[in-house]
Structure 1
């Protein structure tokens, strides 16, 4: 196993890789590499293409269009970023600016086509059901950045044929780690992510170096009908519909590692609705340590054991090859509420002989030397709490809605113009989520991460920081959060995205 200092391991979730290989065509303000195996080995799982910031700026042109994809069940025509699944990995550093020209090149929405044919003006739609599948926007998931204006503003709507320029300034003390970008327009988010619109963001902190291989693994589960398209909401709204999982757009890839070698794996669950329980303790071929969760380095590494990634979660892992041979890598069977989901293959881990020269790492990995205190994620004390809130998660029968249901927060589905949580900048709050449904809900809060304090009345010893926490079916979860740096409007919602589109979202406003 590669030897690392304790200080380096504690912050490994913020590592960076400077890729070699052929240059990817990139706009001014970025350098790029094509998607390739990080071990330069034919048949090995490639990383996504990489765009790296230059001189403090990452400048990206991001086209939303239909693209052709090869799925296990056959060819498909899907909504994608630049015709690829997933999108390129964006690599930035604290203090950088991300400039994105989002170009919506999808055809007009069906609703607009119908009203135009009838000679009527287009209508603004704020419905708690799938709608306007070709209207989009952009969210910087998990990042602690400004939610206002042209930054991480999920209230924007970029219609077909429109362009919009996002400018996102990353704080100089932003945690290093794994984040992601994806659409977030209420009503079309589920269909667009189920189609494959997603990409990883890595925030680097290059203050130390090692020679670990790094894998960026974007896990997606696109779903299509018999005609190879995704236009029918029933396909993605029904949780039990069968999915084929892809890693970096590849079905059941081979993932190579030497016996005794340690790699850094960045896992992103970018599917729209299904949980990914991973049992590293039962994978005889490898051992794994968790060093970061939801983009935040852990204070101490710990054995990975059993991890459950909800849609939206990220895990940074040190994975070490232990036994030569081929080993199954996949999701265990589990109950996601009332739905029994089978085990699912993600890939195959191939552990090579320790002395094999068939593969070799060629890209340096940078390890930050800073501490958790630098990122201000200090525990939230009892005396800091200025507000305690109870947030009930429910659902109501609504004949005529998709699947005849709306999902609710505090008894009501999402209200576009209402701000039910108003907090004050600089203050801290404690929330208690009470799940009144038979389904688990991964609750995601924008802008500010939170500490998980209790699950079903049992204190969580290490109080982990997250941005997406699973509230068990008929369960209770208590969290604490601080409103730091940024006033403005943003949202909190279930990251089972069909639940969000069906109403399980609430607006928040932070005032100075």
Structure 2
């Protein structure tokens, strides 16, 4: 570890290591279209014994009723269990922010609200160092994702770390996905003048090397790839057109030490789909041209789905639990608003993942397909 990285990292400099868990467990407001987003509704559904069932002094219902009422606006995300906490730094100081998106499906698009004053440099994603540190004005975290950024501010004062629904990320996160995106402040960064002579602290310029199982897999020969698998997400929250059965039902197996290539497809036209693989991190190899069928919910039923080709024709071959009893439109062309991730200029869109980076949690864009590779190291 380089001296600059050690200077902002535990175990020797834990005072420089700021751990931030951003969670959605203060989102109580209930909305009919998306009941899963209400923490109170989730408590009620699961039978949580710690629900807010005390009666209000007004006699108009319970605290749970009040929290769920959209008129009261109790729809916040918390940082380390607090609403808008304060982190203190000094001018020119560098600290390492380890940020966790502790939500399930919600996305964070984190930046500083002020256009000038503070800067961020990415060090690692999901616990894996990037090849070289790089500056960014925004980091985008899907549910469960982690990022390490070095932060430095040039001026004294209060700066706001916020999450925004950034229009620049619409091609991958979809403006229609507003229920899972936020315009909310996360914390205040209070920057003080230094008492002594100003001394600029430096960002790390080098990072630890990857272990052998995180070597660059973008250029491996086809003969080195031991297994290939297609992973398709559909609108009924199914994978490969099947709902989850049990942990003993294996669709695919591979051996330790082998290189695996997965082709990941999101058939939804206006919604990204999160992907998290336990145990093994994976390298993002490519965004591919989308030529597959797309999944559509029934226009009336809203819970059952069918697959159409990109010309809008109902596919002859559907899937095991296809609802044949419903009256399906025979022509249903998709909305191509977000189609074309393979040839879009992605460098200036923070929501896209730079090719070659290692992650274990990503968002697959609407009508998107991606290739990922990994070594099954354990």
Q: TM above 0.5, one fold? A: yes
Deviation at 1:461, TM superposition (A): 5.9
2:215 to 369, 378, 390: 378
1:403-426 CA deviation, whole Å, 9 max, x = no partner?
xxxx11111111214211111221
Deviation at 1:389, TM superposition (A): 2.0
Q: Which residue of 1 aligns with 2:356?
A: 463
Task: Give the match's secondary structure for 1:351.
Answer: strand
Distance 2:192 2:8 in 1: 27
TM-score (normalizing by structure 1): 0.47
1:161-220 CA deviation, whole Å, 9 max, x = no partner?
xxxxxxxxxxxxxxxxxxxxxxxxxxxxxxxxxxxxxxxxxxxxxxxx558611111111
1:389 aligns with 2:229: yes
Q: Which residue of 2 aligns with 1:224?
A: 28
Alignment CA distance shift 1:375-1:355 (3 Å): farther
Deviation at 1:447, TM superposition (A): 0.6
Q: Which residue of 2 aligns with 1:431?
A: 262
Q: Is the 8 A contact 2:112 2:159 kept in 1?
A: no
1:136-170 CA deviation, whole Å, 9 max, x = no partner?
xxxxxxxxxxxxxxxxxxxxxxxxxxxxxxxxxxx
1:355 to 174, 192, 195: 195
Alignment CA distance shift 1:378-1:440 (3 Å): same
Distance 1:345 1:210 in 2: 28
1:361-404 CA deviation, whole Å, 9 max, x = no partner?
xxxxxx9x9842446411122342122222111023xxxxxxxx
Task: Give the match's secondary structure for 1:408.
Answer: coil
Alignment CA distance shift 1:394-1:14 (3 Å): farther
1:329 to 155, 158, 161: 161
Q: Is the 8 A contact 2:105 2:274 kept in 1?
A: no
Q: Which residue of 1 aligns with 2:253?
A: 422
1:405-460 CA deviation, whole Å, 9 max, x = no partner?
xx111111112142111112211111111111122122000111100111233697
Deviation at 1:333, TM superposition (A): 1.9
Distance 1:314 1:219 in 2: 10
Alignment CA distance shift 1:461-1:317 (3 Å): closer
Q: Is the 8 A contact 2:120 2:150 kept in 1?
A: yes
Task: Give the match's secondary structure for 1:244.
Answer: strand
Q: Which residue of 1 aligns with 2:177?
A: 339
1:310 aligns with 2:142: yes
Q: Structure 1 stretches of 5 or more lacking a match?
A: 18-208, 358-366, 397-406, 487-512
TM-score (normalizing by structure 2): 0.62
Q: Is the 8 A contact 2:108 2:182 kept in 1?
A: no
Deviation at 1:470, TM superposition (A): 1.3
Deviation at 1:469, TM superposition (A): 1.4
Q: Which residue of 1 aligns with 2:78?
A: 246
Distance 1:309 1:424 in 2: 30
Deviation at 1:473, TM superposition (A): 1.6
Q: Is the 8 A contact 1:219 1:247 kept in 2?
A: yes
1:215 aligns with 2:54: no
The root-mean-square deviation of aligned C-alpha atoms, in Å, is 3.4
1:259-285 CA deviation, whole Å, 9 max, x = no partner?
111111111111222100013596523
Distance 2:14 2:8 in 1: 15
Alignment CA distance shift 1:292-1:12 (3 Å): farther
Alignment CA distance shift 1:473-1:386 (3 Å): same
Distance 1:242 1:434 in 2: 35
Distance 1:304 1:429 in 2: 31
Q: What are the residue-to-residue correspondences of 1:266-277 with 2, within 5 Å?
A: 266-277=98-109
Distance 2:208 2:100 in 1: 24
Deviation at 1:286, TM superposition (A): 1.1
Alignment CA distance shift 1:474-1:370 (3 Å): closer
Aligned length: 265
Larger Rg, first or second structure (1 or 2): 2
Alignment CA distance shift 1:283-1:250 (3 Å): farther
